[in-house]
Amino acid sequence: MKCAGIDIGSRTIELVVIEADKITYSLKTDTSYDPVSQARGLLKTISYDRILATGYGRALIGSCFDMPTITEIKAHARGAIAVFPDARTVLDIGGQDSKAISLHDTGKVKKFEMNDKCAAGTGKFLEIMAKTLGFDIDDFGKEALLAKNDVNISSMCTVFAESEVVSLIAKGCNRCEIAKGLHNSVIRRATGMINRVSSAGEIVFTGGVAKNSCMCNMLADKLGRRILVPDDPEMVGAFGAALLAGE
Amino acid sequence: MQSEKTDMKIVPLMDDGYDGEPAKRVLNYLHGHKEKGDPIVGIYCGYAPIELIQSMGIVPASLCAFSKIPIEAAETVLPANLCPLIKSSYGFIIEGTCPFFAMSQAIIAETTCDGKKKMFELISEVKSTFVMDLPQVPDQIEAVQNWKKMILKVQKFLEETFDRSTSDEKIETALKASNRKNALMQKIFDYASIKPPVISWQEMYDVAFLAQPSTGQEIIPVLEQLIEKLDMRVKDGIYFGKPDSVRVLVTGCPIGGDATKVFKVIEESGGIVVAPDSCTGMKTFMGRFDENTGDPIAAMADRYLKIPCSCMTPNTKRLEDLSVLIEKFKPDVVIDFVLQACHSYNVESYKVGNHVTNNHLLPFLKIETDYSDGDIGQLKTRIEALFESI
Ligand code: SF4
Ligand code: SF4
């Protein structure tokens, strides 16, 4: 049986097809201003027996294409535990939201925390800050790792943090150190969320921000816990949805 | 709302043309009194000694507001990061758009949370306001004595402001009528404990908003009729939601108007609210006044201080009462509703969450929100995820 999962996030849409629990096909595109056409484009490329929609735009896509839906919390939990069966904690930091989830041994969601409605502590925050500092987002983490010290960034709010960064640049601060400070501020948010849902054990890190090596290192240091990153961390939600479609 | 079984539109419980608009219904009630020449006094809280007010022939009007519209006006004076209930209430006042405030000839306020306390100072510049100093450590023996003294002071304030008087007999009568009213209200709420519930959250709100300011004498016949109607529903097999809808107990800050978005999201996500545990829901109708004690003001002080608001410390009674509600209404999940910047309910949520998950083994979710619609998508995700975790 071919099962598919489609994860309509605020920034990107991911589609995964699995057969016998193995990914046979995956594809990603921007959500854009027209998620319905984007999703239609993706869906055209595949055939499937069952499908589940998840993510921020699940209700819209679910009703347009007559698909059942599940929340991204459940999808990420399912996907993460499939990749790392021993883990009981998941951290997902995507384009515009972040969440920490703890799981029962059965794989069921035990507790979860999500960020507030603003972009603080999400991928969007890092993206804007990378731009302000003139870094490519893909190198942002690596560059931050070059810094010996970090500059303390006190604002969590994206708008305020940006002006803080501008004034630090004007003071002549090293841009790698500012970058590290910015990573640290996202880490502070993330660790707060994780500590509210679980206190020990390995953590599966998913979502686009998991590709940032500085984030992974700093998280591991700060929490003293092992951080596990799946090969394709952005696909975990869609993968989880595909698995659940078959169950 | 539809009933699954009969697939017929359910006749609204009160069916008086105001269904789903409890504020308008109360306004109509107040207008009726105003026309008769009865004085009206504004109140802000579940701790206001309503029976004392009623025993003097004065009508209480709740001024807590639940609309996002006046918030912008309020923020010209108040800080933006303040509880929306306070901002909304105050915004209505400075905009001059609150009919309840306009009708109130004086205000009774209580020192509950800091935000309200400081707002009362601003209100007192506009209208005669009596601030009752509410004891906040209710387990101390002095607390009830002090609260009794405060009630006596407010009595004097009302006597002087409205040129009215009362007596122990009149107060005792009002307490007895309230006991009867509250018992009937509890009975009405009990119809939500049936699986599936035969009363909706909207109807519970409709009844609660009207019953709160009404005297026992006025409302008892109405409530008795509603109970007859509810019994008919039970006989006819009418119910709300689906037999397998997720039963939700919502506790926390008062909910009304624009904040009822939470109830709507719960319903859209396949849930049904069976116990609204807040000051706009069941809370003010719980408990009982001791009768024939010879000191009705002390009896009143005692019962009012038992309201388990988060402004009290320690607020152990909230957890005890919550356990009773959980046993009775058999929810599948508990949601704690916290208004943004309400520190006391927000901090207390940690204890509530532990109590619910450890002692009742129920999934728990804290929601922190305001009156805007900006977070509906997020609320949906959280609530659906909570339901998925059952
Ligand atoms: S929640 Fe507390 S402060 Fe608010 S009305 Fe109820 S008792 Fe008063
Ligand atoms: S909800 Fe909280 S902050 Fe708002 S008025 Fe009530 S006690 Fe005060």
Q: Would you call A56 and B389 a contact, using CB atoms and an 8 Å cutoff?
A: no
Residue with the two structure tokens 């017929």:
B8
B82 CA: nearest ligand 2 atom = 3
Q: Would you call A114 and B382 a contact, using CB atoms and an 8 Å cutoff?
A: yes
Q: Would you call B385 and A108 a contact, using CB atoms and an 8 Å cutoff?
A: no
Q: What is the pLDDT of residues A133-154, one digit of tens each?
A: 999 988 899 989 888 888 888 7
Distance A84 CA to ligand 2 centre (A): 44
Distance A17 CA to ligand 2 centre (A): 49
Q: What is the pLDDT of residues A73-88, one digit of tens each?
A: 999 999 999 999 999 9
For residue A153, what pLDDT is reported?
84
| Ligand 1 pocket check for B254: Cβ under 6 Å | yes
Helix, strand, coil fractions of chain A, as percent rounded to 5: 45, 20, 35
**Burial class for A118, CB neighbours closer than 10 Å (0-12, 13-18, 19+):** middle
Residue A29 in this model has a pLDDT that exceeds 90: yes
CA distance A197 to A217: 21
Nearest 5°: the CA angle B1, B6, B8 is 50
Q: How confident is the model at residue A117 (pLDDT cuts 50, 70, 90)?
A: low
For residue B8, what pLDDT is reported?
56
Q: How confident is the model at residue A40 (pLDDT cuts 50, 70, 90)?
A: very high
Q: Tally C-beta pairs within 8 A across A and B.
A: 31
CA distance B149 to B245: 48
Taking the CA of residue A145 and the nearest CA in chain B, the distance in Å comes to 33
Q: Would you call B388 and A116 a contact, using CB atoms and an 8 Å cutoff?
A: no
Residue A67 in this model has a pLDDT that exceeds 50: yes
| Ligand 2 pocket check for B345: Cβ under 6 Å | yes
B64 CA: nearest ligand 2 atom = 5
CA distance B213 to B211: 6
pTM for this predicted structure: 0.91
For residue B218, what pLDDT is reported?
94
Contacts of B379 in chain A (CB under 8 A): none
Residue A116 in this model has a pLDDT that exceeds 80: no
Contacts of A117 in chain B (CB under 8 A): 374-375, 378
Q: Report which of B49, B66, B45 is spatially closest to residue B116, judged by C-alpha positions.
A: B45
Element (H, E) at A4: strand A2-8
Is residue B284 helix, strand or coil? helix
Q: Whose CA is nearest to atom 8 of ligand 2?
A: B113
Chain B residue with CA closest to A69: the answer is B384
For residue A148, what pLDDT is reported?
86
β-partners of residue A22 are: A19
The residue whose CB lies within 8 Å of the most ligand 1 atoms, and thus the one to mutate among B132, B309, B312, B313, is B309
Q: How confident is the model at residue A94 (pLDDT cuts 50, 70, 90)?
A: confident
Per residue of chain B (390 residues), give pLDDT as tens: 444 444 457 888 998 989 888 999 999 999 999 999 999 999 999 999 999 999 999 999 999 899 999 999 999 999 999 999 999 999 999 999 999 999 999 999 999 999 999 999 999 999 999 999 999 999 999 999 999 999 999 999 999 999 999 999 999 999 999 999 999 999 999 999 999 999 999 999 999 999 999 999 999 999 999 999 999 999 999 999 999 999 999 999 999 999 999 999 999 999 999 999 999 999 999 999 999 999 999 999 999 999 999 999 999 999 999 999 999 999 999 999 999 999 999 999 999 999 999 999 999 999 999 999 989 988 999 999 999 999
Mean pLDDT for A209-220 is 94
Contacts of B375 in chain A (CB under 8 A): 117
A77/B contact by beta carbon, under 8 A: no
Provide the ipTM: 0.84
> Which of A56, A74, A97 is the closest to B388 by Cβ?
A74
Q: Would you call B381 and A116 a contact, using CB atoms and an 8 Å cutoff?
A: no
Q: Would you call B378 and A97 a contact, using CB atoms and an 8 Å cutoff?
A: yes
